[in-house]
Amino acid sequence: MSQMAPAPQAPAQRTMRTRRFLMCRPEHFTVSYSINPWMHPDDPTDTSLAVRQWQALYDAYVALGHEVELIDDVDGLPDMVYTANGGFVLDGVAYVPKFRHAERRGEEELFAGWFREHGFGVVEPEFTNEGEGDFLLAGDVILAGRGFRSDDASHGELERIFGRPVVSLTLTDPRFYHLDTALAVLDTVVAPGETPMIAYLPGAFDDASRAELERRFPDAIRVSDADGDAFGLNASSDGLHVFCSPRATGFQEQLRERGYEPVPIDLSELLLGGGGIKCCTLELRGAAS
């Protein structure tokens, strides 16, 4: 019998779920200090371009039916636009950040205040953590980054607060200093026990974390170094549309093969602060979601 080529598989059917996000219009965006390798305070920044690029992301979310809440940005806190660092929100409870660097500590009370005013339970952290920058809900577990920003002890704190298993992953490349710069969760909601699709940059993790990711997510998308360098993994997803950098061309192809629809949004100006699409997006998960 002759060897048959495997029949091409139809891409999986993906389902969009309407999300609720918190964003911050970067009216005071600039780079006045450096706390990650992308930030060069001597290089010029264009605040109006940052606002226009940000607005394109906001508009894309709204056009697809997502609900976007806003927190006001504050002069002197130029990193506030990266709302992913404003907390980790699950079951209507916000575990608020305790920033590693003094430059961002002024944001802590502002985010906590916003959550209180909007009916969320607020848990003040004992340990240093930077919210969804390092903590990503992936089905039944929370993936948690360590190595650069969040304290190891914050992972245990997170587990105690939300009662979900936390899987610690160690980041090793300073350019990928938050988990959300090296890993994206593509399925926001899955049936209990089901494994969500994720995408990650293998080279950003230590050997043990890479082995853990391979074991837990054997079907994951592994992106190229070029797409990782283009900040391709700093992407957000509604289960069908994946909002990602237009420069991550290989990643977009991988997404299409799996049945996702890439929505390219260029946030090049915000990358001067070391952030991208996911950094500008905090998911607000209410009591019932």
Catalytic residues: 178, 279
Between CA 233 and CA 84 the distance in angstroms is 14
Answer yes or no whether residue 28 interacts with ligand ARG by CB under 6 A.
no
Answer yes or no whether residue 85 interacts with ligand ARG by CB under 6 A.
yes
- List, in order, residues 6 or more apart from 191 with CB less than 8 Å away: none
Answer yes or no whether residue 51 interacts with ligand ARG by CB under 6 A.
no
Run of H or E residues at 111: helix 107-117
Stretch that binds ligand ARG, among 4-12, 35-43, 51-59, 220-228 (CB under 6 A): 35-43
Answer yes or no whether residue 227 interacts with ligand ARG by CB under 6 A.
no
Answer yes or no whether residue 180 interacts with ligand ARG by CB under 6 A.
yes
From 87, 147, 262, 273, residue interacting with ligand ARG (rule: CB under 6 A) = 273
- Residue 53's nearest CA partner among 283, 270, 287 is 270
Between CA 168 and CA 269 the distance in angstroms is 31
Q: One-letter amino acid identity for 6?
A: P
Answer yes or no whether residue 26 interacts with ligand ARG by CB under 6 A.
no
Q: How far is the CB of 78 from ligand ARG (least distance, A)?
A: 8
Answer yes or no whether residue 80 interacts with ligand ARG by CB under 6 A.
no
Q: Which is nearer to ligand ARG, 93 or 184 (CB)?
A: 184
Q: How far is the CB of 138 from ligand ARG (least distance, A)?
A: 16
R_g of the chain computed on alpha carbons: 18
DSSP string, 74-101: -TT-GGGG-GGGG-EEETTEEE--B-SS
From 275, 277, 283, 284, residue interacting with ligand ARG (rule: CB under 6 A) = 275
